[in-house]
Structure formats: C-alpha cells, structure tokens
C-alpha cells in the first residue's frame, strides 16, 4: 500500500466473494538460484504452469530492501548524520534534534553567528544528500513536504532485469496469441493469482513495498508491489507499450496504453489514454475491469495521481 494513506481491505475492492486462482506454488533452492513454479488459472479458467529461476542474490537484495526500510530507520540514520556533522565542525557547536511524524527539526548552539551560518548550510546539505541516498537505495523518493512514496518509474526500471525470466516464461505459454493485448491479459492474470497480503504494520511505518523478486519468492504482495512487478515484466513482455501507475487513497493500479474495448475502464493523462489493470487481486479482474471503489475514484477524476513509467 501507499505511505500515509488509509489501507483498504482487499475484499472491499470488490464487495463480493473471491475465488483463489492459484492451484499450487513451489520454491526449490539450488546452488545459486531458486526455481519457482506456479500452477494457476487465468480469467478464462484455463490452467497454466509457469516456471522460472531467480538468482538468490536478486531475491536477497529485494528481501533486505523490504526488511530494512522504515521511516523510523531513516530518521535515526539522518539524526546520526546531523550529530556527526556537528561533531566534525567542532568550535563548541551543539545540536538539539527533535523528530516529528514527517521530518526532523534541529536547533544549533554556537558562539559565532558567521560560523552558525556555515554550519547550518552544511547540515542542510548533508541532510538532503543522506535522505536522497537512503530513499534511492530503497526505491523511494520524496514527492512533497509531507509524502515519501515508492519511486515507481525507478523501481520498474531497476526490476526489469530480474523480471526478464518471468517475461520469458510467460512468453513460452501455449495457446496465447502473439499480440500485446493477449500478453498483457496473461501477465495480469499471473500476478492477480499471487496471494494478496497487507504488508504494512505499526512497527515498520512505511515499509510496505515488496520488490518483485521477493514478492515472487515469498508468493505474496500488495497493490503497489504487484503493480510495479507487473510493469517490470511488461517492459520486456510488451516493450512498446506505455505504462503508468495510478494512485488513489489506499490503493494503486497499473495502466497500459492499449486501445480500449467496450466497457473497459480508462484513464487519460497528457493526451494519452490508458486501460486499467487491477493487479492486486485476490479477485481475477479482466483487463480493463476494476473494483467499485477504484471505479469511483477514477470516475470522479479526483484524489488520483498518475505516475508515468516510460
């Protein structure tokens, strides 16, 4: 889910019964990689077996990013950097740091006003540089004074390489026509059948984005984690298509610039029309179909933001 937003229950997106489409999942550890195998049904109830390998390094890096990121961890790191900068400056300087929900506030004490100006500039520069580095390392960015979010475009690009194995496996699926609409439908159904999981908790505020290799290896994911994983696959599987993540309170979907068919939910941005992809599951929503709450936000065209990926 999205930092700073209300979490919606997965079932509330659909308001009806949900039928799981995953039939079996296995993970076999080998010398340098993991063999992942999924047996599942698509929207037409056709059964598929999809298997591929991901390196242990890719999975480990993704799991570490998920485990290590939190807002509290970031503020602790930044506070330590500020205190270190004051210690290096010397000249009797002292700093008092207070943490609020969305920022750090500090006050320095030093005898000379000119030195205070120099130190203040150094603290601001180190704070900004350290924050940007921490967020980039965990595929996030600050979008305004209040919000830190997943950097959807950067995350999609970074995960495209590890996800090429998934794109190749889906490309080997028999009975799928050789066109982008069929490819997108298949990839959408594959990610929908992966069990939905709420990843946020009170102790790890902000640590709710599970990068794609970990999502696949752990066989679970939430809305924005699945949307980015699907986008990373489509960058290889349907490479000419433009993609965007669409966010709204408590939820995120992917969108693709396919020609829309009758009844499909679309989103317009910068003279481009996208078709909605509800990757979160657990409902098997066909291409262009979304839950009633998502449709309400999209229909009102407010409280939504569109983040182009390519």
Confidence of residue 205 (pLDDT cuts 50, 70, 90): low
Total-model pTM = 0.88
| Structure confidence at residue 16 (pLDDT) | 42
Contact 244, 153 (CB under 8 A): no
Q: What is the pLDDT of residues 3-57, one digit of tens each?
A: 444 334 444 444 443 455 899 999 999 999 999 999 999 988 999 999 999 999 9
Between CA 292 and CA 285 the distance in angstroms is 12
Percent of the chain with pLDDT over 90: 69
Cα–Cα distance, 83 to 294 (Å, whole number): 45
Looking at the DSSP bridge assignments, the partners of residue 306 are: 246
Neighbours of 188 (CB within 10 A): 27
Chain Cα centroid distance, residue 68: 15
* Residues linked to residue 96 through DSSP beta bridges, in sequence order: 107
Most confident of 82-86, 267-271, 299-303: 82-86
Which band of pLDDT confidence, cut at 50, 70 and 90, is reported for residue 92? confident
The neighbouring-strand residues paired with 268 are: 273
- C-alpha to C-alpha distance for 103 and 40, rounded to whole angstroms: 44
Model confidence pLDDT, tens digit, residues 208-234: 899 999 999 999 999 999 999 999 999
């Amino acid at each position: 889910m999205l930092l700073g937003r209300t979490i919606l229950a997965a079932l509330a997106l659909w308001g009806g019964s949900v039928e799981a489409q995953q039939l079996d999942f296995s993970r076999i550890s080998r010398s340098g990689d993991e063999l992942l195998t999924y047996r599942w049904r698509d929207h037409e109830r056709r059964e598929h077996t999809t298997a591929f390998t991901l390196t242990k390094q890719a999975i480990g890096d993704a799991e570490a990013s998920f485990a290590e990121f939190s807002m509290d961890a970031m503020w602790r790191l930044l506070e330590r950097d500020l205190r270190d900068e004051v210690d290096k400056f010397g000249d009797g300087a002292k700093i008092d740091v207070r943490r609020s929900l969305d920022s750090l506030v500090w006050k320095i004490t030093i005898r000379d006003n000119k030195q205070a100006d120099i130190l203040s500039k150094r603290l601001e520069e180190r704070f900004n540089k350290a924050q940007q580095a921490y967020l980039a390392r965990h595929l996030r960015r600050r979008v305004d004074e209040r919000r830190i979010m997943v950097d959807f475009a950067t995350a999609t690009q970074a995960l495209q390489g590890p996800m090429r194995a998934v794109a190749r496996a889906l490309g080997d699926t028999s009975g799928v026509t050789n066109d982008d609409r069929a490819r997108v439908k298949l990839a959408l159904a594959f990610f929908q059948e992966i069990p939905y999981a709420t990843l946020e908790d009170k102790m790890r505020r902000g640590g709710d984005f599970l990068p794609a290799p970990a999502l696949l290896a752990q066989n679970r994911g939430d809305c924005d984690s699945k949307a980015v994983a699907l986008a990373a696959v489509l960058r290889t599987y349907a490479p000419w298509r433009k993609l965007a993540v669409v966010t709204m309170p408590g939820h995120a979907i992917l969108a693709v610039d396919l020609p829309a068919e009758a009844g499909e939910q679309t989103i317009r941005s910068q003279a481009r029309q996208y078709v909605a992809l509800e990757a979160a599951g657990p409902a098997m929503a066909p291409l262009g179909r979304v839950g009633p709450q998502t449709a309400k936000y999209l229909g009102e065209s407010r409280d939504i933001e569109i983040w182009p990926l390519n």
